[in-house]
Structure 1
Amino acid sequence: MQHRADTPSSPPLNDQRALTRAGLALRCLPFRRAFYDEVTDRALSSTGLCSRNDASSLCRGAPTPDRVEAHWIWLIQLGVLRREVDGQGLTERVRLTPMGRELLAQWPGEIPTPSGLDRLLHGLRRWRPRL
């Protein structure tokens, strides 16, 4: 089998599934585009997010550190966020990954609102991934 390096290839099927699942999560979780723009440039902790005066511009609803952490853990598992590292190891702060930047690039403005079916699919994939 001959491989041509100059032939563009599509992403592997698993990568496309990961992007689709992560894109659905971005649309269903309460974080606004401004939050993702913020963690592109600098790390942010859940307590830092919740204590900000402008938290409502970064997140829909009333964020609590525990709820924010639960959402972040999911986004870390999906590959959208990563924990910040310092000299002591992992911190409580997060930053956007290259995959997260790739997903956000598909939406020039605010992240689109999910449909009811999208929310249902996201919930099933998050809480019952084997179904």
Structure 2
Amino acid sequence: MAPAEFDHAIALRYPRRSLKRAERAFRCSPFRLELLGDMRSQSISIRQVCGQAGLKSHYSRRAMAELQAENAMMWLIAVGLLRREVDGQGLTDSFRLTPLGRQVFEQLSALSPAQYRPTLVDHLYNAWCRWVRLPSWAGF
């Protein structure tokens, strides 16, 4: 019996609400689209994102301390855009895109930077979601 083959053309379907929340979270983050683009093919270490290294590689809009970058990355993990890289000894300080993150990247890369710039309402709603973090069973 032949082994089952995985069809890479099968796309996961996410609820529209999840896609919008993840897209808004990235647009409100201090990161640039180049970060997601590079994460499609490789894992990116937190050290590559924070400080002057993040500015030089065009991964961040401003120089950030490692703790700030880590907190922003953890929110992107919470909304489903990123995942932690794992090696043989456990978690590392590197991140990769999830399938949801790939879809968000495809959507945002089709827009101009002015089109995906977050509004004040986006920032307020994103901050509210980060602060409240209601459980999924609550229906919001």
User: What's the TM-score once normalised by structure 2's chain length?
Assistant: 0.75
Query: 2:37–2:105: 8 Å Cα contact kept in structure 1?
Result: no
**Partner residue, 1:106:** 107
Residues 84 and 95 in structure 1, CA contact (< 8 A), matched pair in contact too? yes
Q: Contact (CA 8 Å) 1:35, 1:58: kept in 2 or not? A: yes
Gap runs ≥5 in structure 1: 1-10
Distance 1:34 1:102 in 2: 15
Is 2:125 the partner of 1:121?
yes
Q: CA deviation at 1:50?
A: 2.3
The 5 Å alignment of 1:27-106 reads 27-50=27-50, 53=53, 55-56=55-56, 57-106=58-107
Q: Percent identity?
A: 35
Report deviation, 1:30.
Answer: 1.1
Letter in 2 for 1:86: D
Tell me the distance in 1 between the aligned counterparts of 2:112 and 2:34. Answer: 8
Does structure 1 retain, via aligned residues, the 8 Å contact 2:73–2:82? yes
Per the alignment, residue 5 of structure 1 pairs with none
**Structure 1 residue 54, shift from structure 2 partner:** 5.5
- Aligned CA distance change for structure 1 residues 51 and 119 (closer, same or farther; 3 Å): closer
Query: Residue 33 of structure 1 contacts residue 109 of structure 1 at CA under 8 Å; is this kept in 2?
Result: no
| Residue 6 of structure 1: aligned partner | none
Q: Is contact 2:51–2:65 with CA below 8 Å preserved after alignment?
A: no
Cα 1:96–1:52 shift into 2, 3 Å: farther
How many residue pairs end up in the alignment? 119
Gaps of 5+ in 2: 1-12, 135-139
Distance verdict in 2 for CA 1:60–1:110, change over 3 Å: farther
Cα distance in structure 1, aligned partners of 2:96 and 2:39: 5
Q: CA RMSD in A?
A: 2.1
TM score, norm. by length of structure 1: 0.80
Q: Distance in 1 between matches of 2:97 and 2:47?
A: 17
CA distance in 1 between counterparts of 2:99 and 2:50 reads: 25
The residue type equivalent to 2:121 in the other structure is L
